[in-house]
Chain A
Amino acid sequence: MPARKGTAARPRDPVPGLVDSLLKGDKRAAGKLISLIEDDEPEATEAVARIHPHTGRAHVVGFTGPPGVGKSSLINRLVRTLRGRERKVGVVAVDPTSPYTGGAVLGDRIRMADTGVDPGVFIRSMATRGHAGGLALATFDAVRVLDALGMDLVLVETVGAGQSEVEIATRAHSTVVVEMPMTGDAVQTMKAGILEIGDVYVVNKVDLGNADVLVANLKFQLEARDGWTPPIIRTAAIEGRGIDELADALMRHAAFLDETGLRKKREIARARLEILENAQRLLAREVEAGSASGRDFERMAEDVASRRLDPNAAARKLLPTSSRKSS
């Protein structure tokens, strides 16, 4: 039962050495670099900058679906199947952080124990640490590290609640939506977002019966997007049923993205998001460092509370001069 994040941190290794080792396939360096980025250490920026040029080879697959639907078990089986096809596979599994204690118990690894010491597999657990949306803030930087480590595919397992499905769909090359029978009526599958984001749909736990209804419902509602009709794959992850078909579907989607030029489009869309996010983070930091703790800030808070100033006008006063015009 390995434990992470006590109060006292171990000393960090210098970034250039870690990145060199990472590029040579050193797992220890990969683990350390992910921690460094996850903990938002000052060296994180340098680490990402050095790693970024060495990425872009891995095919990133996001998995979303309600908790308990079998995402971890499905990924475990898929990892084995992909290893059988001689693909190196990275996994980033996200679990929620407790809003009460700030701690987390990360249990996805239990269901992935099969692949344990396989040198072509790297599994990393991450906690959301308060980041809204069911993904950890550093999830996609961890993906970057595993990409640079030389993984052919990186599978990302989301918490499966809230906004994570939309967020994963904007970041992954392929998004897998996992559903299971007997969890609700037809309306559940019509919920906004679910039908628009999947590139591949999985109906897991088909051994429970009643899968036909769910499959029919999905088939009826799913439409082709950009020339791709999302396939619906029936699986029973624990027994390993349907996993080959899932692997095939993912390979077909990867080939489709290449042939149509959509991969490039998705990469650019993701780059846009990442640039904006970084800008927001930098701006937030600047605002906080500059004035959010000072006396002016307190006065402004009083002015807003007593209706002498509105919150938006106050916020604009906090911003660096160059960005004050936006509202």
Chain B
Amino acid sequence: MEVIYTGLRQTPEDIVEAAIQEDVDAIGLSCLSGAHMTLFPEVVKLLKKRKSGDILVAGGGIIPEEDIPKLKKAGIKVVFGPGTPLREIVAFFETAGEGA
């Protein structure tokens, strides 16, 4: 698995542009600021606009339980809360593309 780390405080536009240039299978977003309800769906929207809706989007960070269903509805495939074991996250990405 190859992971491209793009650094902190990237705009949704930056993230989508990087994902397209790097031709990634998945994007992992982390947000601690509370702006996830705006930023995460924006990434999904921009991906679709760039005909790249096939790229999987996963989220993580400080996300209240009640927001998770809404994020999933907005196209975020999975949300990993604080304390999720690394093994679980790796396993998710290893199998994510299967049957897609």
Chain A positions near chain B (C-beta within 8 angstroms):
1-10, 27-28, 30-32, 34-35, 97, 103-107, 109-110, 113, 116-117, 122-125, 127
- Are the CB atoms of B50 and A1 closer together than 8 Å? no
Cβ-defined contact, A3 with B10, below 8 A: no
Q: How many A-B residue pairs have CB under 8 A?
A: 126
B25: nearest chain-A partner, CB-CB: A6
Per the bound structure, the CA–CA distance linking A28 and B55 in Å amounts to: 12
Nearest Cβ in chain A — how far from B63, in angstroms? 16
When C-beta atoms are compared, the residue in chain A nearest to B27 turns out to be A2
CB pair A34–B3 under 8 Å, yes or no, is no
Nearest to B5 among chain A residues (CB) is A107
Q: Which residues of A sit under 8 angstroms from B4, Cβ to Cβ?
A: 1-4, 106-107, 109, 125
| Interface residues of A, dominant DSSP | mixed
Cα(A248)–Cα(B20), bound, Å: 31
Max chain A C-beta neighbours (<10 A), residue from B14, B17, B93: B17
Question: Are A105 and B5 in contact, with the CB atoms below 8 A?
Answer: yes
> Given that A3-B1, A3-B93, A113-B7 are known contacts, is A10 also in contact with B100, CB under 8 Å in the complex?
yes
Question: Is A123 a contact of B1 with CB atoms below 8 Å?
Answer: no
Q: Name the B residues within 8 Å of A127 (CB-CB).
A: 2
Let me know if A116 and B26 touch, CB within 8 A. no
Cα distance A104–B3 when bound, in Å? 6
By the criterion CB–CB under 8 Å, are A4 and B98 in contact?
no
What are 15 A-B residue pairs whose CB atoms fall within 8 Å in the complex? A1-B30, A2-B24, A2-B26, A3-B28, A4-B24, A6-B25, A6-B95, A27-B17, A31-B23, A35-B23, A105-B2, A106-B4, A107-B4, A116-B10, A125-B4
Residues of A within 8 Å of B2, CB to CB, are: 3-5, 97, 103-106, 125, 127
Taking a contact as CB atoms under 8 Å apart, the answer to whether B93 and A4 are in contact is no
Contact B3–A8 (Cβ < 8 Å) = no
Q: Say yes or no for B87: interface residue by CB 8 A criterion.
A: no
Inter-chain contact A110/B17, CB cutoff 8 Å: no
B17 surroundings in chain A (CB, below 8 A): 27, 116-117
Query: Which 6 A-B residue pairs are closest in the complex by CB-CB distance?
Result: A8-B97, A31-B23, A2-B24, A110-B7, A116-B14, A35-B23
Check B23 against A110 for contact (C-beta < 8 Å): no
List residues of chain B with CB within 8 A of the CB of A122. 21
Q: Which residue of the partner chain A has the closest CB to B57? A: A2
In angstroms, Cα B17 to Cα A103, docked, is 23
The DSSP consensus for interface residues of chain B is: mixed
B1 and A27 contacting across the interface, CB-CB below 8 Å: no
Q: Could you mark each residue 5-43 of chain B with 1 if its beta carbon is under 8 Å from any beta carbon of chain A, else 0? A: 111001101110111111111111110000000000000
New A-B pairs, 6, CB < 8 Å, besides A4-B1, A27-B17: A2-B6, A5-B1, A8-B95, A97-B2, A116-B10, A123-B18
Contacts of B30 in A (CB 8 A): 1
Q: Which residues of A contact B24 (CB under 8 A)?
A: 2-4
Measured CB to CB, the closest approach of chain A to B71, in angstroms, equals 17
Bound state CA distance, A311 and B20, in angstroms? 47
B53 to chain A, nearest CB (A): 11
**Which residues of chain A have C-beta atoms less than 8 A from B23's C-beta?**
4, 28, 31-32, 34-35
Which chain A residue has the least Cβ–Cβ distance from B55? A2
- Does B73 make an interface contact (CB < 8 A)? no
Does A7 lie within 8 Å of B21, measured CB to CB? no
Interchain nearest-CB distance for A155 vs B (Å) = 14
Judged by a CB distance under 8 angstroms, whether B54 is at the interface is yes
Which chain B residues lie closer than 8 Å to A116 at the CB level? 10-11, 13-14, 17-18
A10 to B26, CA, bound (A): 11
CB of B96 closer than 8 Å to a CB of A: yes
Judge whether A2 and B28 touch: CB under 8 Å. Answer: yes
Contacting residues, chain B, for A9 (C-beta < 8 A)? 25, 97
- Give every chain A residue within 8 A of B21 (Cβ-Cβ): 27, 30-31, 122-124
CA distance A123 to B13 in the complex (A): 15
Q: Would A4 and B3 be within 8 Å (CB), given that A31-B20, A31-B21 are in contact?
A: yes
